[in-house]
């Protein structure tokens, strides 16, 4: 039975999804640096839709445009681009996971340094940022934002190292957590990835100009060649003279976030040497092997469930049909409904394609199950459209633990798989059968024998509770009273 | 070879599509009339994205909100809906096919009548509107808009009939062309469809409240029951006391626009008793029969080509894959490119999913070919992604004639099929083979033996040049100098 | 004692003033026509602050910009002016006295005519407009606005006369009330003043280009030479070939509105051959003669009371001082006050200049008394600042009747002088003494012996109840139910 | 002869004025703290029109609203005020004299401190701020704004003192220049005035709640009682328990800025125990004694010249008339003129009141002469209106030196009195005679014998070049290259 809050979620098209985190981009030595960055951010828009920013350096000043909204809303005309002068640029798209959604938290951030300046943007989350922030404030730092990313900038500004790269390394060496960082100084474009390589970062080349981006799809849009991924724990420094690479924390096995494959990355991106689309189809194939069912049609929850549904369909030999139509005009908010409207059970984002559903046994495929509030409505919609059976299949394991590395997950108590067992979940969702891909199934679809319990190949704490780094803020934060801060009320 | 203009079109995501026309909606006798109308228009958003308007009547005043932009941009909060009081409402989404895109042209339109008032909105195009408008102005009428729809309102205001329905019928009896009209008076909700039934209009019921809408998907979103289509030439008058139907022009065979099946209607809508999705799959199956090819993968141009591609894939036994990924964050304009950016051949809307393309023989499926400027780039994109062969298949016949019934088609000289033969088109597009669905194939997919040449079952002039009505304005307009009008410059 | 409503008025800087009506401007045959019109409207801004509009004709199209807000808010950059192309322009500033304040009511209005077009703007009010509007609607006219000015346009469009000037004359011959009209056709700039000349209109010349304006101050700002006033009942037609004048209703003695001298016109304008500033000083001198008092200082209510106060001071030999300081940053609304703030008696617009008030006998001069709600607060403010006596003097007679010619007066019951006698008013205002300029005193200050009762030299109904024209709508409107209209709710 | 730039200034109504600097306000312990602050800032609006901000503390968080524009534009509704919760508030109006006009420079500024927080706003200018800023950046500080005021905040954050008042005193003890500071912590409202008392600051009381404000007019508007001025070099700390006062830098004679009397303060404010209006009249009287002339009328340049003109008129026995009318609807920008318009010599702000000028010998009174570009046009306007003689009188001495304490003066080379002698100025201005009030005349009008050369009673460097404090940044800034900073390009 749905409560008031859950009913309201019918009207929030993004409710009950893991929210994407952030995307970063940088380019050095191209006369269209800002336009290329806008295009790259556009390709990374799925990683963050709340705000976008670009900072350039034009050999005189750093220049910034930072806005709430989509890339195309604010970086869409020649005039804006013309103001962002310079041959070097970095940019950021953001879905706020820490820090309020206010303009001063929009990245890239900037610090004026003695005789220089540095701008930074960040995908991920530092798990000790609030602890360090308290120490910095005790030490006289003024933090203008409430973003965890500003801590890197404060540490960098206070470093006594002479060279800016040394300052950068000193700063990130104090940070725990997951990060892909891109920074711009007067002469350098810097990229860095956390020691486990949790968040992705790739290097490309556009006619000799180095490009850094969260995903390869941002290289594709500008026609840049994909060179390689930045390695876990690597710091890469691009100058007009060439590219240098450092491993300031030594080398260790990578452990990228499995959720990039399951949900976050764009299907046409190449990650860890594999097509994300192919991996998702493999999840679907593996799911078909683990949880087969006799049925008439395989229907994806669009758009995220499509590749897995195609894989399931092909493996199971059951026809794939678009049994749910997605309305692409759904904005981020739509209509605060009256009670009368609410009881109509309006679906703004999805509608059943009755001709493909009616009288059929339906295998419904989605990529993940978070709180289940949307799933319960989609299953009901399929039933209302006349399905004789609904078999709900998820192409990832049950999500039982919250994320602290830059993914916006509900608190544990809200996670359906954290409070219910399989049968309880099936009953809640209202499906005839319910099945998840197994954890080992995920690894098998990725080409492994299964999960290496001693050295897991991926960051998979949402399924396993196995967090790769300390969670300092989480343990510390109980002890500190919430300090008064500045709230921009408009 | 692409000219300057064509290159610019890379950046206009809607270039080289037939533009949707308009959508209409109305409801009578429901306390959430305006919110239901907003929801219905949201479901019809694919029919027009430039402007949206709602007019209600609250037993005291007619109340209007009309805005440029999407439904969700302006009708998304309880406060706006609360201002649109009343138990009766009509609404309109618009893609301007005649009249400039300015606020005073946004529908529904309104006229204060003696002791009453009427609001009207319109999907379609009157082919004698400008001729009548000239006569009206000679006769002292003041036309505030430049929209063809205002002519109906002027004729209605000048009618000497006593009853408003008689005035309405007198007005539309003078109009030629295609129309689905929805009108609201103090006591009545009126619907009307042109004598050929070129534009669609359906009747639904929501707990006793009659609902009119361009497509059944607008009934589905509010949970209304689909009753029947308004027939060609029918005028339907809904009052709290019941529904009356008239056929003021007599009865004749319907001849609905085939393009509603090919492209305009939403796949989950039911039109002429058939699922649009099923029809599109049948177009694909028929295409596979007419133009088979040996290949490794069937790839749709998303999203419009997907159902036909599934049909082709299923008929031909070639796997269906999402070989092209669509970026859903593309707005209506994006980045005026510098020359340097332009030469990168940036694709904002589509990107190749290389893993499904590389080294493969690709059957590329789209629903229609207009000027070909986008197709040439998509074929090139598929080749760049490593396809060994590209076989381009269109699930509709060559478009050789312009539309004058509310679809925004280029002038004939811009239509690729109007100036080139098949081989020239193949060469221009750059595909290894090119094939269109035949005209008779369209009719066969619709369940007919073929096109009935004496009494064609559909309006199909874009393929055949066979226009069902006179095109009065087209022949008259040469003779009249362009009169000075008012241009709202901001 | 002040009620809740009156207290709120502390916060409305324009409460308790007669509101200005409208200003019109036109120029023909100057390459900077639109910029000159913007400047002219800026000089006439005191006549209407709610909206402004300009229409030009550029030998191809009429071009319009119409906005809510001040002239300087919307007509302040070269880009806007560049869009308003053409050598002929008319413009309007508006304070709405009839018709809601919505964009479609903003003038100039426009009608496309057969082979032509006309744009009109209007200062004044037609006292039979609503009656004619009902007849027009019965006859099939569609009125887009609710403005009385549109009626002229509808009549003009329906005229069977061939020549546009004849159509114009036919239209205005049906109108009662007060008006200064300016109209623009493809070849002509037309001006017209009502038979009594109630509203002002002057003719100027700028290097051969004729200019029409409500006041001479609009000629001064652009450096145009003042030629003469348009006479009462005159229609003037300017073409590139010269200026023609008609008196279609015959000639009769003028009877201009005395309020233009008392309050509306700018002090530096010349009206009826006299400096408005001089006339106001004369009102003050006459007031000093009629209502002398022993006092230490003459203090004007700024800014409107300043000239009369100077006249009073000079006649009475009592020093003039700025005992009240006006805050010029007061916008049209400011702070919805909490009860706590309200009880502070905050004055946003005025503050007492204590050093000029404390311990002094003050003669306080204002130009008119409407409801008295502001006066009561100003007198209290003067007392709070330490005045030993407050003698309140008004440089016009008691306002006892509402206006129906374009001035926004309260209903009679709200007029202080309509419900109270002098002593009751004095008591309400809280002054030690109170005196008004006499009606005959007004006429004497204007150079007459007194008011000519049989043929009054001025329109002065607000003081005398003597309305020069029929008030058709006023008597008719009781009989007609309010018809449903369209309310633009946003 | 006027150059291109000077001609453009015809269209900038604020050109050729000394620009006001800033105004500050604070209140502690009143439930309407934010509304009172908005009202206070409204009364101080003449001190800065570019931006306004308010910060409150509500015992939980500090809350901020900061906007470009007027107080009334952004703090005018109950909803905004309701968001600014709390019983304590400070606010700021700003005319930017240092730091660009961008949002992050709008005050009050805020710093989160260990277990606390402080918000600061500032009227004046620190003459060593840029030098200290360089040192702070070398030491690892990140300065978000480019405002000189942030330096105080950075010093305060870095102080090792325990108590916030001690930190505040340590910070300001490092600052040179002119300042009136108001600060808000969780428990305290703090005010401070520079050792010379150059910028003003007063203390008031509203039913027990302490109020700090730049001028007494801000106390008057809310009905607060004026208690006393903050003394030069005083730090005042208000808590709910009472008010404490410190003189951390010892006591010395005050030397307030004479320009507050001449131009900046509102005429109804009381400053140094004297009515500003009275002082200005005295300047006029003294001017009449020093520079008498035979004439028919005394005409002020409105509004700033009015009190001095009244003084001159009364002393000289020549009638005072409003010979120039000011248009109060002039915004900050108006119409980028075409060359044709420019040559018309349009005056948007002022117009001649010809009836008071024509054929008369005019004494024209203004408060100060900066570059003279406006004066030359006003004199010409008076001549064009028919004056037989124009005698230009300034109620302050020639401005020969730039200000560095918060007043926006042109560079020295632009100051007319810095490059021309009296006769050259007269010739440039085009007056028949020209005279300034003498420096000693200023002091005499203030009640002194004359200027005390060893211990001048006022800060008067603009006339004398005698700067009371070191001008560190001025001497240092040559030596440092301009560092790259962040420019917010939108």
Tens of pLDDT, residues B17-58? 655 579 999 999 999 999 999 999 999 999 998 899 999 999
Cα(B436)–Cα(B422) distance, integer angstroms: 9
Residue environment code for A352-389, b if the CB has 16+ CB neighbours within 10 A, otherwise e: bbbbbbeebbbbbbbbbbbbbbbbbbbbbbbbebebeb
In a domain, D13, yes or no: no
Q: Does D420 touch chain C (CB under 8 A)?
A: no
For chain C, the domain total comes to 2
Average pLDDT over residues B363-382: 94
B240 shares its domain with B353: no
Q: Does A319 touch chain B (CB under 8 A)?
A: yes
Average pLDDT over residues B286-313: 97
Q: Does C207 touch chain D (CB under 8 A)?
A: no
Cα(D146)–Cα(A424) distance, integer angstroms: 59
| Residues B123, B95 contacting (CB under 8 angstroms) | no
Residues in the annotated binding site of D: 304, 366-367
Q: Does A144 touch chain D (CB under 8 A)?
A: yes
C387 shares its domain with C249: no
Rounded to 5 degrees, φ, ψ at A262 are -70, -40
Q: Does C144 touch chain B (CB under 8 A)?
A: yes
C425 shares its domain with C301: yes
Q: Does B485 touch chain C (CB under 8 A)?
A: yes
Cα(C59)–Cα(C81) distance, integer angstroms: 17
Which residues in chain C are closer than 8 Å to D310, comparing Cβ atoms? Answer: 320-322
| Residues C353, C324 contacting (CB under 8 angstroms) | yes
Give residue-wise pLDDT tens across range A77-116: 777 888 999 999 999 998 755 555 566 678 999 999 987 8
| pLDDT of A326 strictly over 60 | yes
C304 annotated to a ligand binding site: yes
More confident call, D395 vs C332: D395
Q: Do A112 and D484 touch (CB under 8 A)?
A: yes
Identify which of D222, D267, D319 has the shortest CB distance to residue C325: D267
More confident call, A335 vs A81: A81
Among candidates A35, D42, A287, which has minimal Cα distance to C349? D42
Strands C486-488 and C361-366: unpaired
**Residue D22 among the catalytic residues:** yes
Cα(C51)–Cα(C41) distance, integer angstroms: 11
| Helix locations, A369-453, DSSP H | 373-384, 416-419, 422-429, 439-445
Chains in touch with C (3+ beta-carbon pairs under 8 Å) read B, D
Q: Do A114 and D485 touch (CB under 8 A)?
A: no
B37 shares its domain with B171: yes
CATH classification of the domain holding D228: 3.60.20.10
Please report, for residues D313, D360, D361, D389, D437, the alpha-carbon distance to residue D294 in angstroms, rounded to integers and kept in the order given.
12, 11, 8, 10, 18
Cα(B451)–Cα(B445) distance, integer angstroms: 11
Q: Do C and A have ≥3 inter-chain CB pairs under 8 A?
A: no
pLDDT averaged over chain C?
89
Give residue-wise pLDDT tens across range A374-407: 899 999 999 999 999 999 999 999 999 999 998 8
Strands B177-185 and B189-193: antiparallel
In a domain, B192, yes or no: yes
Q: Do C307 and D322 touch (CB under 8 A)?
A: yes
Q: Does D2 touch chain C (CB under 8 A)?
A: no
Q: Do C486 and B110 touch (CB under 8 A)?
A: yes
Q: Does B294 touch chain A (CB under 8 A)?
A: no
D245 shares its domain with D344: no
Q: Do A38 and B333 touch (CB under 8 A)?
A: no
Give residue-wise pLDDT tens across range C222-280: 999 999 999 999 999 999 999 999 999 999 999 999 999 999 999 999 999 999 999 99
Cα(A428)–Cα(A375) distance, integer angstroms: 9
The residue written with tokens 């008011």 in the block is C451
B117 shares its domain with B171: yes
Q: Does C103 touch chain D (CB under 8 A)?
A: no
More confident call, A294 vs A342: A294
Cα(C245)–Cα(C212) distance, integer angstroms: 13
- Which A residues, 425 through 484, put their C-beta within 8 Å of a C-beta on chain B? none
In a domain, D135, yes or no: yes
Identify which of D70, D351, D356 has the shortest CB distance to residue C220: D351
Give residue-wise pLDDT tens across range A184-213: 999 999 999 999 999 999 999 999 999 999
Least confident of B338-347, C109-118, D223-232: B338-347
Q: Does D174 touch chain C (CB under 8 A)?
A: no
Which residues in chain D are closer than 8 Å to C40, comparing Cβ atoms? Answer: none
Q: Do D275 and C353 touch (CB under 8 A)?
A: yes
| Residues A378, A13 contacting (CB under 8 angstroms) | no
In a domain, A308, yes or no: yes
- What is the pLDDT at residue B13? 41
Region of A272 please: left (phi>0), alpha (psi -120 to 50) or beta.
left
Give residue-wise pLDDT tens across range D48-95: 988 999 999 999 999 999 988 889 888 877 778 889 999 999 999 987
- Nearest Cα of chain A lies from the Cα of B365 at a distance, in angstroms, of 16
C119 shares its domain with C70: yes
| Residues A63, A55 contacting (CB under 8 angstroms) | yes
Chains in touch with B (3+ beta-carbon pairs under 8 Å) read A, C
| pLDDT of B98 strictly over 60 | no
- Which D residues, 29 through 58, put their C-beta within 8 Å of a C-beta on chain A? 55, 57
ipTM of model over 0.85:
yes
| pLDDT of B90 strictly over 90 | yes
Q: Does C349 touch chain D (CB under 8 A)?
A: no
Among candidates A73, A75, A65, A133, which has minimal Cα distance to A99? A133
Which residues in chain B are closer than 8 Å to A340, comparing Cβ atoms? Answer: 31-32
Q: Do D484 and A157 touch (CB under 8 A)?
A: no
Whole-model pTM? Answer: 0.90
| pLDDT of B338 strictly over 80 | no
Please state whether the peptide bond connecting residue B209 to the residue before it is cis, i.e. omega within 30 degrees of 0: no
Q: Do A and D have ≥3 inter-chain CB pairs under 8 A?
A: yes
Q: Does A174 touch chain D (CB under 8 A)?
A: no
* Domain that residue B293 falls in: 279-326+343-453
| pLDDT of C116 strictly over 90 | no
A247 shares its domain with A368: no
| pLDDT of D346 strictly over 90 | no
In a domain, B447, yes or no: yes
Q: Do B331 and A76 touch (CB under 8 A)?
A: yes
- Nearest Cα of chain D lies from the Cα of A153 at a distance, in angstroms, of 8
Give residue-wise pLDDT tens across range A270-287: 999 999 999 999 999 999
Q: Do B62 and C111 touch (CB under 8 A)?
A: no
C318 shares its domain with C248: no
- Which A residues, 218 through 257, put their C-beta within 8 Å of a C-beta on chain B? 220-223
Chains in touch with D (3+ beta-carbon pairs under 8 Å) read A, C
- Nearest Cα of chain A lies from the Cα of B277 at a distance, in angstroms, of 8
Least confident of A472-481, B2-11, D264-273: B2-11
* pLDDT band (50, 70, 90) for residue A17: low
Give residue-wise pLDDT tens across range C303-358: 889 999 999 999 999 999 999 999 878 754 455 556 656 666 667 888 999 999 99
Which residues in chain C are closer than 8 Å to D306, comparing Cβ atoms? Answer: 322
Give residue-wise pLDDT tens across range D277-333: 999 999 999 999 999 999 999 999 998 899 999 999 999 999 999 999 998 787 544
Q: Do B141 and C137 touch (CB under 8 A)?
A: no
Q: Does D303 touch chain C (CB under 8 A)?
A: yes
More confident call, A489 vs C10: A489
A232 shares its domain with A191: yes
Report how many Cβ contacts below 8 Å link chain A to chain D: 133
pLDDT averaged over chain B?
89
Average pLDDT over residues B179-194: 97
In a domain, C85, yes or no: yes
Tokens linked to D332:
């900050």
Q: Do A64 and D143 touch (CB under 8 A)?
A: no
In a domain, A182, yes or no: yes
C181 shares its domain with C230: yes
Tokens linked to C111:
């009608």
Which candidate in C60, C119, C486 is best for mutational testing of the B interface (most B CBs within 10 A)?
C486
Among candidates C32, C27, C25, which has minimal Cα distance to C238? C27
* pLDDT band (50, 70, 90) for residue D343: low
Angle at B27 between CA B24 and CA B33, to 5 degrees: 110
Cα(C468)–Cα(C257) distance, integer angstroms: 10
| Residues C151, C136 contacting (CB under 8 angstroms) | yes
Q: What is the CA C383 to chain-centroid distance, rounded?
A: 32
pLDDT averaged over chain D?
89
Least confident of A455-459, D156-160, D473-477: D473-477
CATH classification of the domain holding A440: 3.40.50.2020
- What is the pLDDT at residue B9? 41
A26 shares its domain with A168: yes
Q: Return the SS3 of A330.
A: coil
Which candidate in A335, A343, A356, A360 is best for mutational testing of the B interface (most B CBs within 10 A)?
A335
SS3 labels along chain B: CCCHHHHHHCCCCCCCCCECCEEEEEEECCCCHHHHHHHHHHHCHHHCCCEEEEEEECCCCEEEEEEECCHHHHCCCHHHHHHCCCCEEEEEEECCCCCCCCHHHCCCEEECCCCCCEEEEEEEEECCHHHHHHHHHHCCCCCCCCCCHHHHHHHHHHCCCCCHHHHHHHHHHCCCEEEEEEEEECCCEEEEECCCCCCCCEEEEECCEEEEECCCHHHHHHCCEEEEECCCCCEEEEECCEEEEECCCCCCCCCCECHHHHHHCCCCCEECCEEHHHHHHHHHHHHHHHCCCCCCEEEECCCCCHHHHHHHHHHHCCCECCCEEECCCCCCCCCCCCHHHHCCCCCCCEEECHHHCCCCEEEEEECCCCCCHHHHHHHHHHHHCCCCEEEEEECCCCCCCCCCCCCECCCHHHCHHHHCCHHHHHHHHCCCEEEECCHHHHHHHCCCCCCCCCCCCCECHHHHCCCCCCCHHHHHHHHCCCCCCEEECC
Give residue-wise pLDDT tens across range C127-186: 999 999 999 999 999 998 878 899 999 999 999 999 999 999 999 999 999 999 999 999
In a domain, A196, yes or no: yes
Q: Do C140 and B157 touch (CB under 8 A)?
A: yes
- What is the pLDDT at residue A106? 84
| Helices C276-290 + C306-316 axis angle, to 10 | 50
């Amino acid at each position: 039975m749905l409560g008031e809050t859950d009913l309201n979620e019918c009207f929030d098209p993004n409710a009950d999804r893991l929210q994407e985190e952030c995307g970063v981009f940088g380019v050095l030595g191209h006369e269209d640096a800002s336009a290329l960055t806008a295009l790259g951010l556009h390709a990374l828009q799925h990683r963050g839709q709340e705000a976008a920013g670009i900072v350039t350096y034009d050999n005189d000043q750093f220049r910034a445009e930072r806005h709430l909204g989509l890339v195309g809303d604010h970086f869409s005309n020649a005039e804006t681009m013309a103001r962002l002068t310079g041959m070097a640029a970095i940019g950021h798209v953001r879905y706020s996971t820490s820090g309020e959604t206010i303009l001063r938290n929009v990245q890239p951030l900037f610090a004026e340094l003695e005789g220089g300046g540095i701008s930074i943007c960040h995908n991920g989350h530092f798990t000790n940022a609030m602890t360090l922030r308290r120490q910095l404030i005790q030490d006289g730092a003024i933090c203008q934002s409430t973003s965890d990313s500003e801590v890197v900038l404060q540490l960098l500004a206070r470093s006594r190292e002479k060279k800016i790269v040394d300052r950068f390394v000193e700063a990130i060496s104090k940070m725990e957590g997951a990060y892909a960082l891109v920074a711009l100084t007067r002469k350098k474009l810097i990229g860095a990835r956390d020691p486990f390589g949790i968040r992705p970062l790739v290097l490309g080349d556009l006619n000799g100009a180095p490009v850094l981006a969260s995903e390869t799809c941002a290289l594709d849009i500008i026609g840049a060649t994909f060179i390689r991924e930045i390695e876990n724990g690597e710091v890469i420094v691009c100058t007009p003279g060439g590219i240098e690479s450092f491993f300031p924390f030594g080398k260790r096995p990578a452990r990228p976030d499995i959720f990039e494959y399951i949900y976050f990355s764009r299907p046409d991106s190449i990650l860890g040497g594999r097509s994300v689309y192919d991996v998702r189809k493999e999840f679907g194939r593996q799911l078909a092997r683990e949880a087969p069912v006799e049925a008439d049609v395989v229907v994806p929850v669009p758009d995220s469930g499509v590749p897995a549904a195609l894989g399931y369909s092909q493996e199971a030999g059951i026809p794939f049909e678009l049994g749910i139509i997605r309305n692409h005009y759904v904005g981020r908010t739509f209509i605060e409904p009256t009670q009368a409207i609410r009881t109509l059970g309006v679906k703004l984002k999805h509608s059943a394609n009755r001709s493909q559903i009616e009288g059929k046994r339906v295998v419904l495929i989605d990529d993940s199950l978070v709180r289940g509030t949307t799933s319960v409505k989609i299953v009901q919609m399929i039933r209302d459209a006349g399905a004789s059976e609904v078999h709900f299949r998820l192409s990832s394991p049950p999500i039982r633990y919250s994320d602290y590395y830059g993914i916006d997950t509900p608190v544990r108590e809200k996670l359906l798989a954290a409070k219910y067992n399989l049968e309880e979940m099936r009953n809640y969702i209202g499906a005839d059968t319910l099945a998840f891909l197994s954890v080992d199934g995920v690894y098998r679809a990725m080409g492994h024998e299964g999960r290496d319990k001693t050295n897991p190949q991926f960051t998979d704490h949402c399924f396993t509770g196995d967090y790769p780094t300390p969670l300092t803020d989480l343990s510390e934060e109980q002890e500190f009273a919430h300090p008064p801060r500045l709230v921009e009320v408009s």
